[in-house]
């Protein structure tokens, strides 16, 4: 079936020409794009402010770029660039195969115990790396685990991540519920304060899903 028309295809943002829509969600729309300067393909996440959109949406988008740019880990999708053009914000990231952990689960169902643990261990290490830097992901789920060409799992989409409070309390801002309900910790579902333990709860759910 042919893809529906997307007026963004062929458009240029900064040095990037959009070629194909890859997906989208609350954090923005992701396109395969061509970097005209470095002559390489990237994944470009684009967020266009729309009337009535909550102001924190732009803040979360900027925060994704800042937080992810601080990290350098084999199992975290790296970003290359961030910019805006006439109010259109974008983040250039490494382009992966597009295959997700959700795809793997749909193809194979539950995995053998050793394989499931071996798959999630590097993701747990990536989270530990982020947590040491005061970053909570807040949306651990199969769709946010991507595989590279060597089948290495990589954690993506820190778009709703929040830096841990710098006041020393080690908590994120309360009163908002952001994430995917099926993978939320109880305190996250209640809109309460979060820390690294909320991510640990979510990755525990992911492991349970992988093995059962």
**Residue indicated by tokens 């900064």:** 14
Q: How far is 192 from 171, CA to CA, in rounded Å?
A: 9
Active site residue 139: yes
- Alpha-helical runs (H) found in the chain: 56-69, 101-108, 113-132, 186-189, 196-211
Contacts of 66 (CB under 8 A, 6+ apart): none
Catalytic residue among 35, 81, 139, 199: 139
Q: Is the Cβ–Cβ distance between 183 and 189 less than 8 Å?
A: no
How far apart, in whole angstroms, are the C-alpha atoms of residue 113 and residue 115? Answer: 5
Picking from 201, 207, 159, the residue whose alpha carbon sits closest to that of residue 181 is 201
Question: Can you read off the two tokens belonging to residue 103?
Answer: 């795809």
The catalytic residue positions are: 139
């Amino acid at each position: 079936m042919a893809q529906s028309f997307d007026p963004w295809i062929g458009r240029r943002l900064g040095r990037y020409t959009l070629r194909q829509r890859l997906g989208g969600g609350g954090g923005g729309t992701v396109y395969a794009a061509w970097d005209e300067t470095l002559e390489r393909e990237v994944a470009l996440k684009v967020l266009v402010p729309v009337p009535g959109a909550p102001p924190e949406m732009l803040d979360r988008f900027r925060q994704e770029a800042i937080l992810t740019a601080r990290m350098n880990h084999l199992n975290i999708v790296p970003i290359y660039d961030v910019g805006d053009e006439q109010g259109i914000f974008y983040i250039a990231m490494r382009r992966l195969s597009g295959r997700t952990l959700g795809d793997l689960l749909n193809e194979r169902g539950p995995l053998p115990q050793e394989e499931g643990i071996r798959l999630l261990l590097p993701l747990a290490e990536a989270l530990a790396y982020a947590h040491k830097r005061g970053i909570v992901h807040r949306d651990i789920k199969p769709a946010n685990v991507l595989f590279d060409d060597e089948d290495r799992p990589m954690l993506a989409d820190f778009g709703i991540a929040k830096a841990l409070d710098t006041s020393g309390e080690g908590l994120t801002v309360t009163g908002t519920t952001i994430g995917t309900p099926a993978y939320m910790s109880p305190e996250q579902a209640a809109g309460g304060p979060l820390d690294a333990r909320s991510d640990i709860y979510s990755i525990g759910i992911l492991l349970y899903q992988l093995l059962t």
